[in-house]
């Protein structure tokens, strides 16, 4: 009994962020927590820190068959190639563009859908909508792009509907115009992920204290006002945390969807960093260049993450670090 009490108080102290001297008794009282963190620590060391050693490849002319000692060191050659290539800036723009679209659309649609679902009082209807909307999450991109390509074909469902509604006269070749490509990618992402993304918001909404709603009701708040002043502030912390994490993935605009839907006509708008790295790094057997591309992405990701976190802190919001 005593032991559990001390453990709980220790935990609480840590959470409050008060500095506490690290003593054996603290360690002993938290030993379950320490044991629990061992597997995760092992996982992180094994899969996050050990591979960083591979970064040395970016500064070599890496040849797979050779030992580390036999590799030829070339300094920043691969980075120079990367940054001096015209197409690199183009693929960077595409990556950022599509990433921003995915980020904004992903957040806005998921939050709106979660809020709407939350307002549905019929459990059966709510569950049905939720299930149907998150099913596409379990399809792989190769299947999704197949569906997208078929739907957007000149005799596909999208053109059929638009023509039946007399919005367009002739079928639009969606996939042959660069200007549509980002939109197509954004829409495919929303279709695939929106249901899945709502789950976490619905969970956050469920944890809001019902007393707040009751209080709002007594004050005469309408449904809409309750949504604006109780639900949204209630899930704000979740939104901010997820946003910070997503910003860290800003250079992960995806690979499969652009690779599989792209073609010669839209190549200026469809190629992302990942495709560039595949083409000029891995496809050339130039693993060093591929690594250099990877390092660039990591550095940008970490920087963006820190900026987002710092901004959140300045705005007095919940933050990650």
Partner 1 sequence: MGGKSKSVLRLSMIMLLSLGVILSGCGGNNASKAGKSNTGEQEADGPFEITAFIGEAGQQPTPDNKIYKKIKDELGVTFKFEFLAGDINQKLGVMIAGSDYPDIMTANTKLTAAGAFIPLEDLIEEHAPNLKKHYEKYWNMMKDPNDGHIYTLPNYGAYNGEVASTWYSGPAFWIQKAVLKEFGYPKVKTLDEYFDLIAKYKEKYPTIDGSPTIGFEILNYDWKNWGLFNAPQHLIGHPNDGGVVVKDGKAEIFANKDYAKKYYQKLNDMNQLGLIDKETFTQNFDQYMAKISSGTVLGMFDQHWNFQSAENALITQEKLERTYVGLPLVYDPSIRDHYRDRAALNLNNGFGISVNAKDPVRILKMWDRLIQEDWQKILTWGIEGEDYIVNEKGRFLRTEEQRKKTTDATWELANKAKTLYASSPKLEGYFSDGNATDAAAQPEEYQAGLKPYDKEFLAAYGFESYVDFFSDPPENPIYYPAWSVDLVEGSEAKIVNTKLNDLSTKYLPQAILAKPGEFDKVWNEYTGEIGKLNVKAYEERINEVLQWRIDTWTVK
Smaller CB distance to partner 1: residue 104 or 283? 283
Dihedral angle sign, alpha carbons of residues 45, 49, 51, 53: negative
The minimum distance between CB 137 and partner 1, in angstroms, equals 20
The minimum distance between CB 92 and partner 1, in angstroms, equals 16
Contact status, residue 195 vs residue 117, Cβ threshold 8 Å: no
Tokens coding 315? 């705005």
- Any idea which residue has 């030992």 for tokens? 67
Smaller CB distance to partner 1: residue 4 or 23? 4
The minimum distance between CB 248 and partner 1, in angstroms, equals 24
Distance CA 173, CA 186 (A): 17
Separation in Å, CA 308 to CA 94, 98, 288? 21, 19, 30
Nearby residues of 83 by Cβ (< 8 Å), 6 or more positions away = none
Smaller CB distance to partner 1: residue 43 or 68? 43
Cα 163 from chain centroid?
Answer: 35
Smaller CB distance to partner 1: residue 85 or 119? 85
The minimum distance between CB 42 and partner 1, in angstroms, equals 6
Smaller CB distance to partner 1: residue 135 or 282? 282
User: Site residues (CB under 8 A) for partner 1?
Assistant: 1, 4, 32, 35-36, 38-40, 42-43, 61, 63-65, 87, 149, 153-154, 173, 175-176, 260, 263-265, 267-268, 278-280, 282-287, 289-290
The minimum distance between CB 158 and partner 1, in angstroms, equals 14
H/E element holding 123?
helix 123-134
Smaller CB distance to partner 1: residue 45 or 112? 45
Separation in Å, CA 193 to CA 13, 102, 189? 39, 10, 6
Nearby residues of 231 by Cβ (< 8 Å), 6 or more positions away = 115, 118, 205, 208
- Any idea which residue has 């050339």 for tokens? 284
Phi and psi dihedrals of 60, rounded to 5? Answer: -120, 170
Contact status, residue 290 vs residue 282, Cβ threshold 8 Å: yes
The minimum distance between CB 246 and partner 1, in angstroms, equals 25
The minimum distance between CB 1 and partner 1, in angstroms, equals 8
Question: Measuring CA to CA, which residue among 40, 41, 34 is closest to residue 7?
Answer: 34
Smaller CB distance to partner 1: residue 23 or 32? 32
């Amino acid at each position: 009994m005593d032991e559990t009490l001390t453990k709980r108080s220790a935990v609480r102290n840590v959470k409050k962020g008060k500095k506490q001297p690290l003593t054996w008794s603290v360690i002993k009282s938290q030993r379950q927590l320490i044991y629990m963190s061992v597997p995760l620590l092992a996982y992180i060391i094994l899969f996050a820190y050990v591979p960083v050693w591979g970064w040395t490849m970016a500064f070599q002319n890496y040849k797979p068959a050779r030992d580390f000692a036999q590799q030829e060191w070339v300094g920043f050659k691969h980075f120079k190639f990367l940054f001096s290539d015209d197409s690199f800036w183009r693929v960077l723009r595409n990556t950022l563009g599509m990433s921003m679209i995915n980020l904004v659309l992903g957040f806005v649609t998921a939050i709106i859908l979660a809020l709407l679902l939350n307002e549905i009082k019929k459990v059966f209807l709510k569950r049905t909508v939720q299930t149907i909307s998150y099913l596409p999450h379990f399809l792989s991109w190769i299947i999704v792009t197949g569906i997208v390509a078929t739907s957007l074909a000149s005799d596909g469902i999208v053109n059929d509907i638009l023509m039946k509604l007399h919005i367009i006269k002739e079928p639009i070749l969606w996939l042959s115009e660069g200007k549509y490509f980002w939109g197509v990618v954004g829409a495919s992402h929303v279709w695939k992920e929106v249901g899945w993304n709502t789950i976490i918001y619905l969970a956050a909404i469920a944890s809001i204290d019902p007393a707040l709603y009751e209080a709002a009701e007594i004050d005469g708040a309408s449904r809409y006002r309750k949504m604006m002043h109780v639900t949204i502030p209630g899930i704000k912390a979740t939104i901010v945390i997820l946003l910070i994490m997503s910003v860290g993935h800003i250079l992960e605009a995806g690979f499969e969807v652009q690779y599989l839907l792209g073609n010669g006509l839209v190549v200026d708008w469809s190629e992302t960093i990942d495709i560039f790295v595949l083409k000029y790094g891995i496809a050339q057997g130039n693993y060093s260049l591929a690594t250099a591309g990877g390092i660039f992405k990591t550095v940008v990701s970490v920087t963006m993450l820190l900026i987002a976190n710092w901004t959140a802190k300045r705005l007095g919001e919940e933050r990650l670090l």
